[in-house]
Amino acid sequence: MIGPSLPPARSGIMPEQIYRKSGTTSRVELHNGRISIVEIEEIGESHDSIEHFSSRTLSTQSRSETNIGERTTAALASADQFKASVPGSLVLERLVLLSGRADHSIVHEGKANEWTESFERLHISLMHPEARERVEVEVGGSSLDMIDRETITSIASLLARMDREPVTSRELNLSLEPVVAAALWAALTPWILGGAPGGASGPTLDQSIHPELAHDGNGLIIAPKRLFGIEGGARWSELPNMFRPSYRAKPVSMPFHLRANPIRSDVHGDYEAHALLQRFIWTPVGLAAKLLCRSRNSDSVFASTIVMTPERWLQSVVGIDSEMTWFPNLAGTYGSRTLIRIP
């Protein structure tokens, strides 16, 4: 099976747009013991027409935000806390903490739209040298307080005590923790929007909303939309919203704040998948995941590899909790504790 791909950048673009973004970002990077602090003040603009996309930086006239120093101090303190929470048997390979604020404006056919966003992102990569395993996690939100510290510390403590020998897939009653479930929905998105058939069973997937991150890349208010259900799925061309991660990048059609709707059921399996030891990848036989798992009975921690067709992944879902956590996958993805049953 060849993995589905994301849409071409051209799709769905309105002609003759002028987009401007100005903002400040504090970035703290820890890598192999080296610490870098980067404070950026930047204004950029892009012009988008049918045939040509151009972008350029502009000179900052005045500081758009005067408290960048405070933002950096908070980010550095937060990074130090994460670093301190890493168990001694693990190696903190990389930590990148982004904290910023951006003012956006877009002009289309003489009409202007303006909006402002704050954002926080944490990327962390932890290695267990003895077990030769690595976990990479990305969490985020609109403020540092929204970063899910508990998820990180829980994953770190489990990785630190995992057994060396991996366990290959078998009969499993497995609950995916929110960070894993969100990664699954993000991995399935290109397949769904590329023309997946409707499902007789399994979850429904929607574009949904985020209270703080309410606008798309064109400044439109994001509205809920059904992406996948029993009646079939949406297509890339039917998506109403554009994702614009930077003024330097062409905007692309993308579902925002993807979520799987709750399925009332017990969501606690015999085993729990707490993190990805390898990102979801498309293989010739399906979508593969290597998961950091814990047995609820024995409390042992092990690696398990699961490969299934996308249809089987969806059909295996038997329960989805209503409590959701937002992750910065694609244009935002919610994850909830999700129970899957693998025969």
Q: Which is nearer to other proteins, 54 or 168 (CB)?
A: 54
Q: What is the DSSP letter of 206?
A: E
Q: Is 29 a binder of other proteins (CB under 8 A)?
A: yes
Q: Which is nearer to other proteins, 1 or 37 (CB)?
A: 37
Rounded to whole angstroms, the Cα distance separating 185 from 199 reads 15
Long-range residue pairs from 198-201, CB within 8 A, at least 24 positions apart, any chain: 198/228, 198/229, 198/230, 198/231, 198/232, 198/233, 199/228, 199/229, 199/230, 199/311, 199/314, 199/315, 200/230, 200/315, 201/314, 201/315
Task: Pick the piece of the chain touching other proteins (CB under 8 A) from 31-39, 185-193, 229-237, 331-339.
Answer: 31-39
Q: Is 6 a binder of other proteins (CB under 8 A)?
A: no
Rounded to whole angstroms, the Cα distance separating 213 from 197 reads 30
Tell which one of 15, 16, 18, 60 touches other proteins (CB under 8 A).
60
Read off the amino acid at residue 87: P
Stretch 79-138 residues interacting with other proteins (CB under 8 A): 93-94, 96, 127, 129, 132-134
Q: Which is nearer to other proteins, 127 or 214 (CB)?
A: 127
Q: Tokens 């709707």 map to which residue?
A: 261
Q: Is 248 a binder of other proteins (CB under 8 A)?
A: yes
Q: Which is nearer to other proteins, 133 or 272 (CB)?
A: 133
Q: Is 66 a binder of other proteins (CB under 8 A)?
A: no
Tokens matching residue 340: 């899957």
Q: Is 59 a binder of other proteins (CB under 8 A)?
A: yes
Tell which one of 1, 35, 77, 230 touches other proteins (CB under 8 A).
35
Residue 20 vs residues 10, 42, 219, 334: alpha-carbon distances, Å: 19, 11, 11, 28
Residue 189 vs residues 18, 195, 298: alpha-carbon distances, Å: 29, 10, 35
CA 78 to chain CA centroid, Å, is 20
Q: Which is nearer to other proteins, 91 or 342 (CB)?
A: 91
Tell which one of 20, 108, 121, 250 touches other proteins (CB under 8 A).
250
Q: Is 77 a binder of other proteins (CB under 8 A)?
A: no
- Minimum distance between the CB of residue 50 and other proteins, rounded to whole angstroms? 11
What does the angle CA 176 – CA 134 – CA 125 come to, to the nearest 5 degrees? 95
The footprint of other proteins on this chain (CB under 8 A) covers a number of residues equal to: 34
Tell which one of 1, 18, 58, 77 touches other proteins (CB under 8 A).
58
- Minimum distance between the CB of residue 138 and other proteins, rounded to whole angstroms? 13
Order the strands of the 301-308 sheet from edge to edge. Answer: 167-168, 301-308, 286-295, 271-283, 172-176, 338-342, 317-320
Q: Which is nearer to other proteins, 68 or 289 (CB)?
A: 68
The residues of the shown chain that bind other proteins, judged by CB under 8 A, are 29, 31-32, 34-44, 51-60, 93-94, 96, 127, 129, 132-134, 248, 250
